[in-house]
Amino acid sequence: MRFRLTPQDTSFFEMFARTGTILVEATAVLTEVIGSDQARREELGKEMEELEHRGDEAAHAVLRRVNSSFVTPFDREDIYQLTSRLDDCLDLMQAAVDLMVLYRIGELLPGVGDIVQVLARQAELTAEAMPRLRSPGDLSDYWVEINRLENQADQIHRRLVAALFDGGYDAISIMKHKEIIETLEDAADAFEHVAHTVETIAVKES
Amino acid sequence: MRFRLTPQDTSFFEMFARTGTILVEATAVLTEVIGSDQARREELGKEMEELEHRGDEAAHAVLRRVNSSFVTPFDREDIYQLTSRLDDCLDLMQAAVDLMVLYRIGELLPGVGDIVQVLARQAELTAEAMPRLRSPGDLSDYWVEINRLENQADQIHRRLVAALFDGGYDAISIMKHKEIIETLEDAADAFEHVAHTVETIAVKES
Amino acid sequence: MRFRLTPQDTSFFEMFARTGTILVEATAVLTEVIGSDQARREELGKEMEELEHRGDEAAHAVLRRVNSSFVTPFDREDIYQLTSRLDDCLDLMQAAVDLMVLYRIGELLPGVGDIVQVLARQAELTAEAMPRLRSPGDLSDYWVEINRLENQADQIHRRLVAALFDGGYDAISIMKHKEIIETLEDAADAFEHVAHTVETIAVKES
């Protein structure tokens, strides 16, 4: 068993773990959105907004704690960056849902669900990693796998964009779909940026 | 009456106030651009360029002063960030005008002026806040209101994009308008980033 | 002859010089891509990927060295930033090639080669500047010229976008070309960001 930090410091890890859980819930909503119709998507958009509020509260709790703590488990600026990058993941997934609703996109190009599956796996891994930030050096499997998944999302994204331009779609449908697909790919990137921040923390602690 | 800092430090506040004034002037130009024809827009584009040069000079004056000062009223990196974020507001408003001219956009979608009104209000509040940076803790009204205005700009932006896709416009007009509207929304975001930097400074000083 | 730093510190300059050379090679590939057909572009895309791997290795070598060095020739965070910004130049040039291949763009709008010529000149100047980082204060010609070239790239970019919208192209061709042209302009910007980082280092050292 590893050395435990003081209770005060510990709670930073709990706070990050809470955000990890919210990210997993967000990918569940996003997965349902893919297969839904416009009416159901609008309801799910509201659920996503709820999750985003909870994410904001979790982020503010971390920042308040940083500002009032004498000792933090790692550099203040790394805590800020990790908080901000976790927030980006949620924001981008919410933005993707918002675009589907706003554009009344209807049935999605087959394959969009494949990127969402990658995001769901990235969110799970991130949620598992957060409580283990106490010993960031043990997390190399996590960031290697997140990077691999990001490359996979990028491949799918490129395949989808090529299919979009080759598929006889009209220019307006292409524009709408392209923006949605790019926002999902940006979310996969955002998970990679989280992993990169964790890697940076691990290097400093080692 | 509040405690005054030394004259040297004071001039940072004057420098930021000068940029605030330039931002107000830029929103006035932008407001006129909305209702003008192509020929007048080209003239106003030149005025905007002038303002952008004055903004650059104001920014360089701040940076020279930071590099030559022994004592600064708040952290050097916060001064850099505030300078850079004020500059973003101006750059984005200028970019919006440039796009309208470059795309020979003609009559704008009704409602674009509503975002510009929000920007004008954000610029006024920012200009009022800058000389009051001496006591940043008193500025909470400012950043709360800037955030509220950004949310309003975002609502208008979303309403406009939906109208654009539903309005029977051709794909090329949609592309052009969408980019202009998004640039204006980015400017509203940039004002929020300025306010966020001020909030960060206030938290450190408190 | 100037004072030489210790061998250990010197090798940072050699590492940056290596990346400079890779950037020059990348602009040579990019120049050939412009005039090639789809089949040849796909081959050149693979060469670009190779260069990108070599760039990544060079960047990782720098970061490993920073983390293991007791003394660095300038601030660690400036070394990180310079590394990351050199990497952006390469990424964006690779992205432009990828888009041409992915979109099966065919013959490019006349004038796209003009931006690539600007990039080639920026890469040469950057490669010449890297080994001279030992005395960054002597590099003012470099960053002034890089800025001038960026302005030139921006002018070409704007002329091309206007030509695209005025040229009777269909919406889908406009979308594809616009993204390629913007990616090339972003690469010119990225070279300017490298120069800006060098300027910041020079100011601190002076």
Q: In sequence order, what are the residues at sequence separation of 6 or more whose Cβ sits closer than 8 angstroms to the Cβ of residue C50?
A: none
Q: What is the pLDDT of residue B10?
A: 54
Mean pLDDT for all residues in chain B: 91
Over range A77-91, report the average pLDDT: 94
Residue among B67, B98, B172 minimizing CB distance to C174: B172
Q: Does the CB of C159 have a partner CB in chain B at under 8 Å?
A: no
**C47-78 pLDDT, tens per residue?**
999 999 999 999 888 888 888 888 888 888 89
Count the Cβ atoms, other than its own, within 10 Å of residue A174: 20
Subunits touching A (CB < 8 Å, at least 3 pairs)? B, C
Kindly report the CATH number assigned to the domain that includes residue A89: 1.20.58.220
**B175-193 pLDDT, tens per residue?**
999 999 999 999 999 999 9
pLDDT-wise least confident of A3-12, A154-163, B7-16, C67-76: A3-12
How many domains, in total, are found in chain B? 1
Is residue C49 within 8 Å of C159, Cβ to Cβ? no
Q: What is the pLDDT of residue C28?
A: 98
Q: Which residues of chain C have pLDDT under 50?
A: 1-5, 7-9
Using a pLDDT cut of 90, give the percent of chain B over it. Answer: 74
Q: Chains A and C: how many Cβ contacts under 8 Å?
A: 18
What's the full length of chain A, in residues? 206
Q: Does the CB of C177 have a partner CB in chain A at under 8 Å?
A: no
**A12-65 pLDDT, tens per residue?**
888 999 999 999 999 999 999 999 999 999 999 999 999 999 999 998 888 888
**Residue in this structure with the two tokens 């002037």, named with its chain if needed:** B25
Q: Would A60 be classed as within a structural domain? A: yes
ipTM over 0.85: no
Q: What is the pLDDT of residue C151?
A: 94
Count the Cβ atoms, other than its own, within 10 Å of residue C19: 25
Q: What is the pLDDT of residue C69?
A: 82
B11 pLDDT band (50/70/90 cuts)?
Answer: confident
Q: Would C153 be classed as within a structural domain? A: yes
Is residue B113 within 8 Å of B45, Cβ to Cβ? no
- Whether the per-residue pLDDT at B155 is higher than 60: the answer is yes
Q: Would B2 be classed as within a structural domain? A: no
Distance CA A1, CA A83 (A): 27
Burial of B64 (0-12, 13-18, 19+ CB in 10 A): exposed
Q: Would C2 be classed as within a structural domain? A: no
Q: What does the DSSP assignment read for C114-139?
A: HHHHHHHHHHHHHHHHGGGGGSGGGG
- Whether the per-residue pLDDT at B77 is higher than 80: the answer is yes
A121 pLDDT band (50/70/90 cuts)?
Answer: very high
- Whether the per-residue pLDDT at A2 is higher than 60: the answer is no
Note whether C175 contacts B170, CB cutoff 8 Å: no
CA max distance for chain C: 61
**Alpha-carbon torsion, ordered B189, B192, B193, B195, to 10 deg:** 170
Count the Cβ atoms, other than its own, within 10 Å of residue A58: 21
B12 pLDDT band (50/70/90 cuts)?
Answer: confident
Q: Would B108 be classed as within a structural domain? A: yes
Q: What is the pLDDT of residue A13?
A: 87
Q: What is the pLDDT of residue A69?
A: 82
Q: Does the CB of B165 have a partner CB in chain A at under 8 Å?
A: yes
Name the residue range of residue A153's domain.
7-205
